Every structure is written in structure tokens, then in C-alpha cells.
Amino acid sequence: MPSRSSERSLDALQDIITNASRIRRFVTGYTLDMFIADDRTHLAVVRCLEIISEASRRIGADVRDRHPNIPWRQVMDAGNVYRHMYDGVSLDIVWLTVHDELPILIAAAEAELGRAPDR
């Protein structure tokens, strides 16, 4: 039976995948210019990234240690920027995050969920 800590990590990993999937749906067919011009879409994407950031805080050190290629501290800290320095959020950086960094995080989350025994 998984420990409470590992259950928490598994739930957080699922939250990451769920919100990353939402982001993919939101930006499908968009260019950067379209993304920047569409308030509803970029606000939804930033909110999902905020949730992903918060979920990453609930992932155990053992999981993070297995994926040293993920900049976990940056992922965790990004939520603070989205919440507290929202007026300084660069949509260009959000766009790059979604296209360059999010796929790596998704792959790590899926790998970890694939390792987990059935719950």
C-alpha cells in the first residue's frame, strides 16, 4: 500500500498532467501573436501553470531526484510570480515555457505515474 506521501506525489503528478493537457488544448492552433492577443486564453494558460507550480511543491524529493533535468525550484517558484508579480509576467516566456519546458515535465510526470502500482 502506498504511503500517504507517495499518494500525495501521485495526485500532484496527475494534477500536472491534467493542467498540461488543458494548456495544450487552449493553445492548439495558436501562434504567439494570437496567444498574446487572446486575454481569455493566456489567462487560462497562466492559471494552469500556477496550478502546475503548486502541484510540483507536493511532489516528493524521491520523485524530483529521479528527474534532475527538471528545474524543480523554478517550477515551484513560478507560481509566486504568477500570483504576486502578475503584472510582470511575460507572455513570450509563458509561450516558451508551454512549448519548450512543459513537454519535459509531462514526460517526467507520465513516467512516474507509469512506475506507480495501481491505486
Residue 119, CB-side half-sphere exposure with 13 Å CA sphere: 14
Helices 102-115 and 4-27, interaxial angle, to 10°?
Answer: 140
CATH code, domain with 100: 1.20.120
Domain-embedded: residue 118: no
CB-based contact 70:108 (threshold 8 Å): yes
Q: Which pLDDT score, from 0 to 100, does residue 5 have? A: 56
Which range has the worst mean pLDDT, 81-90, 95-104, 106-115? 81-90
Q: Is 79 inside a domain boundary?
A: yes
Q: State the total domains in the chain.
A: 1
d(CA 102, CA 107): 9
Is pTM beyond 0.85 here?
yes
pLDDT band for 1, please (50, 70, 90 cuts): very low
Element (H, E) at 114: helix 102-115
pLDDT digits (tens, 9 = 90+) for 48-62: 999 999 999 999 999
Residue 71 counted as domain residue: yes
* Residue 53 belongs to a domain: yes
In a domain, 66, yes or no: yes
Q: Which domain holds residue 102?
A: 4-113
